[in-house]
Structure 1
């Protein structure tokens, strides 16, 4: 397989807020893509004790959940509970209900879903804008 055929599914979006991690998730998410996302989150946590997150889904067609280590998922959940204040999800599918079920009944993370047509409202809710390219 040509290495150019394997474009990462997780792509960082530059924003006007240093305490906001914004990403596009394009197509199918492999275990390597999930590890990349967790790495981006960890880097953001190292810079800021609390962050907001924006996830824009583009032609999303699933995640290789069984291929992601249980330890990675457990640590990702613990870190999210400690560091994420708000998370905006843009596009389909709306995974926010299942994500809320992943956490304890009293969720310290505020998660909202926005349709792709309402992307501007998601950015406004997070008081942020994408910048650059």
Structure 2
């Protein structure tokens, strides 16, 4: 049995007793979807003191939901678990390593008030990992990747590029990689669609910096793709701009279309 508890609007607070079946799990995932539709990020409070087991159907449904919504997992910033069950503590520790964007903490039952308070604290949005580089030609788009790429960065980048495609049809693109890293949550349909659109609209792509293996990948892909792809070292960025036929004007945090 599950019971939804009073909490701030961006917190999904639930008390779970005994067995959780597929129907009950569906009501939980529906509540999560509702909150994500209204808020960029949410937190969760789960009182698991009475939890005995999940049915097999519930476990399978949970797996299907997680795979379908993997792109939204980074939007769940904080999870408070109230339990004395050590096996849940072990699972939480493992998930903290697999999903570093989610802060998962386990609280003893007598600290459940502190758990809800912690889950309800204001969620600080992470700084964008993409910086927009303004160029002297609107049909040349440029960005700098300065941290782990998150799903929110992907959405902003896709919006910026789509607006440029609408204005120009085809564009040239520069990506300076100052820091390379991917959150598990970025592997979504959105990034696949963005790459497919890029194949249609980007005629030249300059990749600047990044791990050494990126140069080999760029050389391998260049003859196989309709767009020209070239890799440049960070010290050779001026050559990349010359190849694209543009120059940088300034940089701004985040991506603005």
Indicate the TM-score class for this superposition, using the shorter chain for normalisation.
0.7 to 0.9
The structure carrying a bigger strand percent of its residues is 2
The count of corresponding residues between Structure 1 and Structure 2 is 129
Unaligned runs of 5+ in 2: 1-121, 252-257
Q: 1:11 aligns with which of 126, 131, 139?
A: 131
Unaligned runs of 5+ in 1: none
| TM-score, length-scaled by structure 2 | 0.45
Alpha-carbon distance between aligned partners in 1 of 2:207 and 2:156, rounded to the nearest angstrom? 18
Residue equivalent to 1:123: 241
Alpha-carbon distance between aligned partners in 1 of 2:156 and 2:216, rounded to the nearest angstrom? 23
How far the C-alpha of 1:41 sits from its partner, in A, is 1.1
Moved more, 74-83 or 111-120: 74-83
Alpha-carbon distance between aligned partners in 2 of 1:72 and 1:89, rounded to the nearest angstrom? 21
Moved more, 113-122 or 75-84: 75-84
Contact 2:172 2:202 in 1 (8 A): yes
| TM-score, length-scaled by structure 1 | 0.83
Alpha-carbon distance between aligned partners in 1 of 2:180 and 2:245, rounded to the nearest angstrom? 29
CA RMSD of aligned residues (A): 2.4
Residue equivalent to 1:90: 208
How far the C-alpha of 1:57 sits from its partner, in A, is 1.1
Residue equivalent to 2:141: 21
Question: What SS does the corresponding residue of 2:249 show, helix, strand or coil?
Answer: coil
CA separation of 1:91 and 1:38: change in aligned 2, threshold 3 A: same
Question: What SS does the corresponding residue of 1:131 show, helix, strand or coil?
Answer: strand
Deviations 1:42-86 (A, max 9, x none): 11111110000000111x13112x413532133112211110000
How far the C-alpha of 1:131 sits from its partner, in A, is 1.0
Contact 1:12 1:22 in 2 (8 A): yes
